[in-house]
């Protein structure tokens, strides 16, 4: 089986390039007094989410954004944005940088510039434990498999012959439908599966095609210059 690699880092709009555009963008950021970064708190754990004890934003992407802002001598300002529209909002100028585990794909590379990867992940197929005959997507032809709209897992499922793909907007809903018997399986990033997969003991996690298919993610930003350095997260 082929293993697929992908990355998550920091990305930028490529509408303009050259030193004057770089200086203008940095001047706008400094004039405003904040580095605005976009993400989606809904389902954003562990990248960005609200601390249940205090309500403040936490997550390693919060720390990356704070570190980038400190390099500019500015505070970081979070901008809530639906995950599926992060790149269009970035292109529109709603914020300077987008960090939310955005997967690097050729289509996205054509629109924004990505920094070097800061997180590596795999796709995990979750099925009920009694589905012992299911070893991979080939065993799910004609059956309903849930995933997120706009995700890399969706691309994988669309390439799998005969799979009936069911799309969701949140990360918890597909696993709830799996528990209720409305789905035969869920395919999503391992970091999502580890935190959101149904706690019911009937569920079992299976790697896609019984192997780990390594992928990485990257982050988008509005492109004033060459991509800034990003700290690698432990992972």
Read off the CATH number of the domain in which 88 is found: 3.40.190.10
Check if the beta carbon of residue 210 is closer than 8 Å to that of residue 135: yes
Per the structure, the complete domain to which residue 79 belongs is given by 16-96
In a domain? residue 212: no
In a domain, 206, yes or no: no
Q: Does residue 23 fall inside a structural domain? A: yes
Pull the structure tokens for residue 79. 């901008």
- Predicted structure pTM score: 0.70
The answer as to whether 177 is a domain residue is no
Q: Provide the domain count of the chain.
A: 1
Burial pattern 184-212, b for ≥16 Cβ within 10 A else e, equals bbbbbbbbbbeebbbeeeebeebbbbeee
CA distance 45 to 101: 10
pLDDT tens-digit profile, the chain (235 residues): 222 334 455 555 543 333 445 567 788 899 999 999 999 887 677 788 888 887 889 988 999 999 999 999 999 999 999 988 999 999 999 999 898 888 888 888 888 888 888 888 889 999 988 877 888 899 999 999 999 988 889 999 999 999 999 999 888 899 999 999 999 999 998 888 887 775 555 555 443 333 333 333 444 444 333 333 333 233 3
Residue 166 in any domain: the answer is no
**42 part of a folded domain:** yes
CA distances from 42 to 14, 32, 49, 171, 172 (A): 27, 27, 7, 9, 10
């Amino acid at each position: 089986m082929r293993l697929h690699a992908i990355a998550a880092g920091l990305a930028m709009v490529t509408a303009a390039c050259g030193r004057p555009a770089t200086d203008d963008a940095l001047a706008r950021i400094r004039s405003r007094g904040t580095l605005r970064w976009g993400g989606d708190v809904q389902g954003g754990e562990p990248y960005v989410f609200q601390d249940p004890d205090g309500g403040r934003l936490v997550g390693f992407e919060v720390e990356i954004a704070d570190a980038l802002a400190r390099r500019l001598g500015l505070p970081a300002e979070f901008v809530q944005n639906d995950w599926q529209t992060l790149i269009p909002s970035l292109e529109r100028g709603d914020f300077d940088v987008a960090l939310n585990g955005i997967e690097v794909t050729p289509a996205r590379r054509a629109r924004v510039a990505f920094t070097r990867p800061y997180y590596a992940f795999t796709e995990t197929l979750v099925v009920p434990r009694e589905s012992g005959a299911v070893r991979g997507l080939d065993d799910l032809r004609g059956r309903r498999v849930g995933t997120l709209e706009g995700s890399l897992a969706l691309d994988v499922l669309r390439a799998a012959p005969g799979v009936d793909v069911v799309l969701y907007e949140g990360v918890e809903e597909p696993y709830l439908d799996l528990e209720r018997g409305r789905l035969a399986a869920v395919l999503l990033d391992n970091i999502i599966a580890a935190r959101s997969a149904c706690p019911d003991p009937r569920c079992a996690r299976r790697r896609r095609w019984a192997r780990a298919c390594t992928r990485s993610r990257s982050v988008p930003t509005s492109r004033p210059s060459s991509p800034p350095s990003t700290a690698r997260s432990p992972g």
